[in-house]
Amino acid sequence: MATSLKNLNDYKKEGFGDISEKKFGIVVADWHSEITDVLCAGAIDTLLKHGAQKEHIFRNTVPGSFELTLGAQFLAMQEEIDAVICIGVVIKGDTKHDDYINHAVANGLTNVSLKFNKPVSFGLVTTNNLEQALDRAGGKHGNKGVEAAAAAIHMLSF
Ligand code: RBF
């Protein structure tokens, strides 16, 4: 489905298990922090709404989205962390940097998830311009942080 037809705040809640004792690590990229902060707030709100405890949510920052993978690994390797949520915004520019970063993050997070057998969700907004990113950070397409948190909760119930 094209993202223009999907609101990121609409997710299926059926089958979500009890997360009141689960611990969540969140890794947030500092690049475009005015947007990643909104995405992170959406993720935290979603965890709290579904019963997570505030003290069980650990937020960490990394310089840019490229570093999300190592940040995720530092958290996933901690036994007490049950799931990791990664948040970043990569906007297309004059060069192909966005392609390299996006592919590296997608592959990197998949590898971390498989290596540690834990949900590591992909809260990376990858857009052509700033407006599209804002549309996905609480704008007309919802909030990608909400979707990433919901994906982590869903996978914990697998
Ligand atoms: N990081 C992001 O999270 N989003 C971006 O849009 C972004 N654009 C970048 C553009 C260029 C030209 C460079 C050099 C870096 C960019 N980064 C971006 C930072 C990148 O993820 C990483 O933090 C740095 O390259 C240091 O490893």
* Dihedral in degrees, nearest 10, Cα atoms 70, 62, 124, 17: 70
Asked if the structure places residue 118 within a domain, the reply is: yes
Asked if the structure places residue 8 within a domain, the reply is: no
Q: How many CB atoms lie within 10 A of CB 153?
A: 26
Instruction: Choose one of 97, 102, 128 to mutate for the ligand 1 pocket test, by most ligand atoms within 8 angstroms of C-beta.
Output: 97
Domain CATH for 51: 3.40.50.960
Instruction: Choose one of 66, 87, 99, 122 to mutate for the ligand 1 pocket test, by most ligand atoms within 8 angstroms of C-beta.
Output: 66
Asked if the structure places residue 19 within a domain, the reply is: no
Task: State the pLDDT at residue 15.
Answer: 78
Q: How far apart are the first and last CA of the chain?
A: 23
Q: Which one is catalytic: 32, 50, 56, 97?
A: 97
Task: State the pLDDT at residue 130.
Answer: 97
Strands 24-29 and 57-62, how do they pair? Answer: parallel
Task: State the pLDDT at residue 93.
Answer: 94
Q: For residue 59, report the distance from its CA to the centre of ligand 1, in Å.
A: 20
Task: State the pLDDT at residue 13.
Answer: 87
At how many degrees (to 10) do helices 33-49 and 144-156 cross? Answer: 40
Task: State the pLDDT at residue 14.
Answer: 84
Asked if the structure places residue 129 within a domain, the reply is: yes
Is 97 in the active site?
Answer: yes
Asked if the structure places residue 49 within a domain, the reply is: yes
Task: State the pLDDT at residue 100.
Answer: 97
What does the block give as tokens for 69?
A: 């993978």
Q: Which of 55, 102, 81, 73 is nearest to 152 (CA)?
A: 81
Binding site per annotation, positions for (2S)-2-hydroxy-3-oxobutyl phosphate: 94-95, 136
Q: Kindly give the parts of the chain with pLDDT less than 50.
A: none
Domains of the chain: total: 1
Answer for the pair 133, 140: CB distance below 8 angstroms, yes or no. no
Structural domain harbouring 49: 24-156
Task: State the pLDDT at residue 3.
Answer: 62
Q: For residue 126, report the distance from its CA to the centre of ligand 1, in Å.
A: 12
Task: State the pLDDT at residue 2.
Answer: 66
Atom 17 in ligand 1: residue holding the nearest Cα: 64
* Dihedral in degrees, nearest 10, Cα atoms 34, 4, 49, 116: -80
Asked if the structure places residue 133 within a domain, the reply is: yes
Task: State the pLDDT at residue 147.
Answer: 97
Binding site per annotation, positions: 31, 65-67, 89-91, 94-95, 122, 136
Q: For residue 90, report the distance from its CA to the centre of ligand 1, in Å.
A: 7
Task: State the pLDDT at residue 74.
Answer: 98
Task: State the pLDDT at residue 1.
Answer: 60
Asked if the structure places residue 113 within a domain, the reply is: yes
